[in-house]
Structure 1
Amino acid sequence: MNNRLSTIAIHVLGCLTFLALPYIFASNGLAKLAELPNNPHEQRNLISYLLTIVFFYTNYYVLIPRLFFHRKYVLYALASVGCFLLIESTLVAINRQGIGSPVRRQPPPIDDRMGHRPLPPFPNGPRPPFPSDHFPEPGSQPSGLPSELSQTFFLTLVGFLMALAIRVNNRWRETEQEKIQTELSYLKAQINPHFLFNTLNSIYSLAIIESPPTADAIVKLSSFLRYVIQESEKNLVSLRNELDYVGQYISLQKLRLGDTVQIDFSVEGNANGKQIVPLLLISFIENAFKYGVSPEEPSGIQIVIAIKDAELHCYVANKKVRVFQPTAVASGIGLTNTKARLQLLYPERHRLVISDKPDSFTVDLSITLS
């Protein structure tokens, strides 16, 4: 609640500061402010600043999230230009109603005796213009229109750039924060005593009987831990390395579980040259091992990863052998966080279908890789 109130206070203070700028930096700012109730030109300027604020929040809360972040750049540009034209047409309509039009001064009274004021001779040049020469003809456009149009364009551009810069910066910070939270969650999930103790006990059992796979199991475990600690810090990793990590995780699970679980794991297609966000697929696979493994009854897990051109398809299915709680966390990160990461990192470029049935749980994920 306090954060929300502070945010509202910051926005209100920012809007008031923006409205006060023309009077703060002007040499006669106080005089212009005092003239505001009776000066149509100052009233028009104030309206243009208010419309800029409206455009800023429209751009910030509507256009950028719904168009720019969804890569609909053409529609976003057209909508921004449309907002500018709407603001300009509003100000033109206000001008036609008399607000913001130049203030006309009455010409000096004419001489009653001659019907006009006598002109003194000016031998060295033409006569100076009458004050009436500066008055626009009826129906003509005010002379200040080009400058007013430039001012409207400048203010609209300021609102456009400020909204875009702040929103993109906030988006980047959200993504970075989500990444940090994900890394911390995975470190807690992967390097936890339960998983390590079970895996090390399995390796110890192999070492007791001097089994040949002992050395290979130790190498897999060290590579697995190194990947979680080092590679997960990057924004994108090689898809080949990510699949190797998934394979090492499944191999360690096979080593830990032995023959109690039937695991069907396959990778199809060529992953060379492609990149993916690290630690994105593993949560669905961990979820299958968490709720699809039981020593008391037959259980099986199917994992299929297919790559075709820029499309990656991941299918994970398991039989439910434990009670599945929708709010349960899958090895420390949970499916909810993974959905949020997909929305942040692959907007409009993924399709996730989860089927939660009483006796089975399946995940069908498709991603368009960059």
Structure 2
Amino acid sequence: MNNRFTQVAIHLLSCLAFLSLPYVLAEDGFSKLAELPVNPHEQRNLVSYLLTIAFFYTNYYVLIPKLFFKRKYFLYGLYSVGCFLLIDGTLVVINRQGRDQPAMRQGPPLSLEKMDRMPPPPFAGEDRPPFPPGHFPESGSQRSGLPSELSQTFFLTLVGFLLALALRINNRWRETEREKIQTELSYLKAQINPHFLFNTLNSIYSLAIIESPPTADAIVKLSSFLRYVIQESQKNQVSLRNELEYIGQYIALQRLRLGETAQIDFTVEGHANGKQIAPLLLISFIENAFKYGVSPEEPSAIQVSISIQDNGLRCYVANKKVRVFQPTAVASGIGLTNTKARLQLLYPDRHQLIISDKPASFTVDLSITLS
């Protein structure tokens, strides 16, 4: 509602600014404005500006969406020329009406006796009758001013035409870019979610093989994961508190699976109240640590540290590289690649990602400025 009100206010202010241009820029603008009720020429100029505004909105809301964007260029050009001719014809009619109006007489009418007593005009013998200083025949004045008025009409119409076309094309380009980004994000989410589900099922499978008692608890946690993915991952922003709870459940599931074979250090500092974040953004880095950082054959340690301060969030994940026996390990790079792409799309100038890939360790240090 506020956005629509702002747009309407911007349009109204823009129209008023456009109408005031000839009076603000001219030296005698205020005098022209005062003459507007009685001066046909100024009235004609005002009408030309109003018709330009009408043509702009007709072009912006009707002609461009229904003809230009649908590649009906011939009809679009035909209607545009027709609008110009309609504007020009309207102004010609206004000019004629102003020319046909009788001139106002100054002073009382002269009687016949006074007219007979008046001396003959000094230029009675010349071919051209004299005119008062500063006054010329009305028809000649209008004929001499007609080309300039037509040029002004053409210029204003052309400005309205080009401005509407430029704004519409720019808006269409921005909408296309937004749709492209949303399509890319949907594609990336579609890859991340099945990948995460696949690894989680592997964890539960490991518990089931050894007939571990926590298997039932792990299945309950998996149902919570699925509920979160289905309900929250489709949103552009989710509660940071819910996202952190989601990560905590995932780490709890890994603790059930690994038991004493891995040392997991998970800490969260700061308050997440009221903050928002893109869903499933941090889990890929944590999942990657468990994928490559634990093995039943070797001792391992994983550190996950998340700190929140003001509008900033930092996520630090570190793991020791161990031998990985899962045949699906070669595919685990999908999550990191997609998360990097999502960060570029969602937080292009508001994140810093530092990845250190050493022979014996792998660390991720991500800082994000939340909105």
- Give the TM-score normalised by the residue count of structure 1: 0.58
* Structure-1 residue corresponding to 2:97: none
When residues 329 and 168 of structure 1 are mapped into structure 2, their CA distance, relative to the original with a 3 A threshold, is farther
Residue 81 (structure 2) aligns with: 26
Q: Give the distance between the partners of 2:82 and 2:174, measured in 1 at CA.
A: 36
Aligned to 1:241: 242
Q: Does 1:134 align with 2:139?
A: no
Counterpart residue type for residue 202 of structure 1: L
Distance in 2 (CA, whole Å) between partners of 1:287 and 1:315 is 13
Tell me what 1:188 maps to: 194
Once residues 161 and 249 of structure 2 are traced to their aligned partners in structure 1, the CA distance between those partners, rounded to angstroms, is 57
- TM superposition shift of 1:133: 6.0
**Does the 8 A contact of 2:315 with 2:367 survive in 1?**
yes
Give 1:308's aligned residue.
309
Is 1:220 the equivalent of 2:221? yes
Aligned equivalents of 2:162, 2:316: Cα separation in 1: 48
How far apart, CA to CA, are the structure 2 residues paired with 1:155 and 1:186?
47
1:232 to 2:233 alignment: yes
2:322 corresponds in structure 1 to 321
Distance 1:243 1:189 in 2: 19
Give distance in 2, aligned partners of 1:228 and 1:146: 61
Matched with 2:204 is 199
Q: How far does the alpha carbon of each residue in 1:26-66 deviate from its partner, in whole angstroms, 9 at most, with x for none?
A: 3599xxxxxxxxxxxxxxxxxxxxxxxxxxxxxxxxxxxxx
Alpha-carbon contact 1:283-1:330 (below 8 Å) kept: no
Q: Indicate if the aligned counterparts of 2:265 and 2:304 stay in contact, CA closer than 8 A.
A: yes
Checking the alignment, whether the CA contact within 8 Å between 1:291 and 1:320 is kept in structure 2 is yes
Partners of 1:268 and 1:21 in 2: how far apart? 61
**TM-score (norm: length of structure 2):** 0.58
Taking the TM superposition and a 5 Å limit, the aligned residue runs for 1:5-20 are: none
1:340-359 pair list within 5 angstroms: 340-359=341-360
**Inter-partner Cα distance in structure 1 for 2:202 and 2:355:** 31
Give, in angstroms, the shift of residue 163 of structure 1: 3.3
2:294–2:300 Cα contact (<8 Å) kept: yes
Q: CA RMSD in A?
A: 3.8
- Structure-1 residue corresponding to 2:261: 260
Instruction: From 143, 156, 164, give the equivalent of 1:158.
Output: 164
Residues 155 and 222 (structure 1 numbering): CA distance in 2 closer, same or farther, change over 3 Å? Answer: same
Structure 2 vs 1, CA of residues 152 and 356 (structure 1 numbering), >3 Å: closer, same or farther?
farther
Deviations 1:178-202 (A, max 9, x none): 232233223321332x641531442
Matched, 1:279 2:280: yes
- 3-state SS of paired residue (2:272): coil
Paired with 1:28 and 1:243, the residues of 2 have a C-alpha distance of: 59
Q: Name the SS for the 2:180 alignment partner.
A: helix
Alignment deviations for residues 112-160 of structure 1 (CA, whole Å, 9 cap, x no partner):
xxxxx95699xxxx85534896169xxxx95556445534542443244
What is the letter of the counterpart of residue 26 of structure 1?
Answer: V
1:169-180 mapped onto 2 (5 Å cutoff): 169-180=175-186
Q: Match of 2:337, SS?
A: helix
Task: Call closer, same or farther: CA 1:143–1:322 in 2, change over 3 Å.
Answer: farther
Q: Describe the shift of the 1:271–1:161 C-alpha distance in structure 2 as closer, same or farther (beyond 3 A).
A: same
Change (3 A) 1:342 1:238: same
Conserved 8 A contact 1:267-1:306: yes
Aligned length: 256
Name the residue aligned to 2:368. 367
- Structure number having the greater helix percentage: 2
- Would the alpha carbon gap of residues 344 and 251 (structure 1) be closer, same or farther in structure 2, given more than 3 Å must change? same
Query: How big is the shift at 1:214?
Result: 5.7
- 1:85-96 matches, within 5 Å, as none
Summarize the Cα distance change of 1:160–1:217 in structure 2 as closer, same or farther, 3 Å threshold.
Answer: same
Match of residue 330 from structure 1: 332
Q: 1:155 to 1:337 in 2, by over 3 A?
A: farther
Change (3 A) 1:148 1:231: same
Code of the aligned partner of 1:129: S
SS at match of 2:349: coil
1:248 Cα offset (Å):
1.1
Q: Which amino acid aligns with 2:81?
A: A
Offset of 1:236 from its aligned partner?
1.4
Deviation at 1:266, TM superposition (A): 0.9
| CA distance 1:161–1:197, change in 2 (3 Å) | same
The one-letter code matched in structure 2 to 1:199 is: I
Question: Cα deviations across residues 241-281 of structure 1 (Å, max 9, x unaligned)?
Answer: 11111111111122222222222111111112111111111
What code does the residue aligned with 2:234 have?
E
Name the CA distance, whole Å, in 2 between partners of 1:16 and 1:142.
35
Q: Which has the larger radius of gyration?
A: 2
